[in-house]
Structure 1
């Protein structure tokens, strides 16, 4: 696409997209689909030789209506309201509907943000099945560099369930806080004036301090936990995360398109938020979990790990956390959310509207990518959950 066509399509010039604005509207619509053009990445290879099936028409689904809080709206209205870039609906393992915004197709990859955490957790489950990763072991057993940090006496289980006592808050719009420093370490934001070289992700995490309480307490969402999990996986396996994820998850799954994840200047993978992939391949991960850990007749992760992920977790820890306002009956286990509803639904979630939603009772999986202007909007979360429940009744 030449410069004039780009401007006509997106309403801005390509050279306007920079590290300082790529998560902001309107630039995020293009940036979330092209992260590898301005942040270093590592490849997660797909299954060689597989091609994608044709687009499944979503017109009938888009016209259908549902009611939320006394207001009737169509599926198309809900997608528009939540700035949707793509959505795929699978029923019993078959794609029944694809929605693509302009300039998005079956080969387009999109950043998952924190839904990356849930994908990373599946790789941890695979290593646990292999006997290489003990969830009750302390983090420094696998990552010695973190011995003097908040993670020095934290278990891998605490990391998996977001129950690490950590003096860290995710304040997205504070340019001077720890979170901004964390993003600069991951090369997700430009260096500040006077900085010649960012600290690495490991260097940043190694300086984090423990919170006031003990590990294993209330649910406390902190993205560095999930980058720590990626480091733990590399330490336990002796392999790069991207290579391991390709061999043990993406290729057995039958992924059609290479994925990639962002890395820092030392090559450390941003497993807490840097995975980029197609919506159909993400949906295939959800379908694999719906099938109890199998895909294409192959076991990828144990049924015991899947059952623990979708039914385990502490209701008390969740109730003591900060997310009950939008998910009052929820739980969190192995970096996956449970709705607490009777359908047994569970999901992965990322800022700006990234979802992988699995409804076992409806035998349905939905992957949804968005470019919401704001990172976190609780009303958008509850709207998406209402949308998914409605689609389960429609398909």
Structure 2
């Protein structure tokens, strides 16, 4: 009896060991997905994702550009500031928000730069939804090059496999403006939300294209701002089908190289090598800042028009009532919305790319920031 029990135990142990070996990468990804968004693991993982998940590389530019130092008055962070009528201590705020890096450009020059949790200026960090604004720029270039005839076309003219989904017949413009009409729940705190179901594909394997093709419609498109990361993933499918190239290859040629990105950029991918364009860009703070400076200059980079000026302006201009500041109670923030950019209220033309875990590319044209 004892020998039989030992044999059973040995067989079970071997099965567990074999399973762990065979599914080593899946187990590792699953662990990282479970610990990705909290505590010490969060800021450690955000700098390591290309090591854990499949990814594509956008090589650093062959002609890297380094921002010059600002020649004006030295800029520092005040020890205290006022927010919403209350005093806030700088150090407490930086700790509470797990601030990893901060770079401030004034007139295209570095007025302030510091690093805390990130490991330094050469470490790429996960963008979360800041990636959406990069994708928008690439789509604007694709429109200018004629790969996409018009954003008033249905997205299914280019991605017919979405015809039976929420995106059937929906204008590309409505998808850009998070107004597709798709049924969607972006609540990260709800384990059964759509964004967390999408996250399980990241952890356990699966195809993003199939996931997007299975989304149903909830309301007429073009009538309500309803923040939806699947809208961005559908736009990634659009860019791939329209250009005949991967998102990585197209963006590397049209953005990464021309902007003189100093470091490699990484796109996380699914098991079919489709980029997770709704959140999966990894880059350094300096290279993220280059998109902000490009948009501040209305798509011009060192004398060359990289993104069409009209596209940049449209991207940061809410052009329908449901996109205006505070118009939608279902948006993540009570801000205006353009083509995958958040638009702030006020008279300085401010706008921002925003990631859910405090990733920002903030642009203030009036202050030349």
TM range (shorter): 0.7 to 0.9
Instruction: Give the match for residue 116 of structure 1.
Output: 131
Distance 1:324 1:270, change over 3 A: closer
Say if 2:32 is the partner of 1:18: yes
**Which of 18, 35, 41 is equivalent to 2:55?**
41
Q: How far off is 1:312 after superposition?
A: 3.8
Say if 2:77 is the partner of 1:70: no
CA deviations on 1:117-152 (whole Å, 9 max, x unpaired) are: 011000001111112212111111111211111111
Instruction: Give the match for residue 153 of structure 1.
Output: 169
Distance 1:51 1:300, change over 3 A: closer
TM-score, normalised via structure 1 length: 0.80
DSSP-derived class of the 1:95 partner: strand
CA deviations on 1:271-309 (whole Å, 9 max, x unpaired) are: 111111111111111101111101122110111111112
CA deviations on 1:365-393 (whole Å, 9 max, x unpaired) are: xxxxxxxxxxxxxxxxxxxxxxxxxxxxx
Distance 1:71 1:215, change over 3 A: same
Does the aligned pair in 1 maintain the 2:55–2:269 contact within 8 Å?
yes
CA deviations on 1:29-51 (whole Å, 9 max, x unpaired) are: 10011111211111122211537
- The runs of 5 or more residues in structure 1 that have no matched partner are 1-13, 192-197, 365-395
Distance 1:181 1:243, change over 3 A: same
Instruction: Give the match for residue 367 of structure 2.
Output: 362
Does the aligned pair in 2 maintain the 1:161–1:313 contact within 8 Å?
no
Distance 1:155 1:71, change over 3 A: same
169-178 or 137-146: bigger deviation: 169-178
Instruction: Give the match for residue 276 of structure 1.
Output: 282
DSSP-derived class of the 1:61 partner: coil
**Which of 256, 259, 262 is equivalent to 2:265?**
259
CA distance in 2, matches of 1:155, 1:104: 42
DSSP-derived class of the 2:94 partner: helix
Q: How far off is 1:159 after superposition?
A: 0.7
**Which of 177, 191, 199 is equivalent to 1:175?**
191
CA distance in 2, matches of 1:20, 1:129: 41
61-70 or 214-223: bigger deviation: 61-70
CA distance in 1, matches of 2:316, 2:354: 15
CA deviations on 1:284-343 (whole Å, 9 max, x unpaired) are: 11101111101122110111111112234324344442367953xx32010111102111
Q: How far off is 1:78 after superposition?
A: 3.1
Matches within 5 A, 1:201-280: 201-211=208-218, 213-280=219-286
DSSP-derived class of the 2:113 partner: strand
Instruction: Give the match for residue 332 of structure 1.
Output: 337
DSSP-derived class of the 1:150 partner: coil
Instruction: Give the match for residue 139 of structure 1.
Output: 155
- How many residues are aligned here? 339
User: Once superposed, what is the RMSD of the aligned Cα atoms?
Assistant: 2.5
DSSP-derived class of the 1:96 partner: strand
CA deviations on 1:333-363 (whole Å, 9 max, x unpaired) are: 1011110211110100011110000000100
Instruction: Give the match for residue 16 of structure 2.
Output: none
Q: How far off is 1:52 after superposition?
A: 4.7
Q: How far off is 1:161 after superposition?
A: 0.1
Instruction: Give the match for residue 356 of structure 2.
Output: 351
Does the aligned pair in 1 maintain the 2:225–2:328 contact within 8 Å?
yes
Instruction: Give the match for residue 125 of structure 1.
Output: 140
CA deviations on 1:62-112 (whole Å, 9 max, x unpaired) are: 245432233333544432332100010000000111110045211111111
346-355 or 95-104: bigger deviation: 95-104
Does the aligned pair in 2 maintain the 1:200–1:264 contact within 8 Å?
yes
CA distance in 1, matches of 2:271, 2:29: 23
DSSP-derived class of the 2:174 partner: helix
DSSP-derived class of the 1:184 partner: helix
Q: How far off is 1:174 after superposition?
A: 3.1
DSSP-derived class of the 2:167 partner: helix
Distance 1:247 1:324, change over 3 A: closer
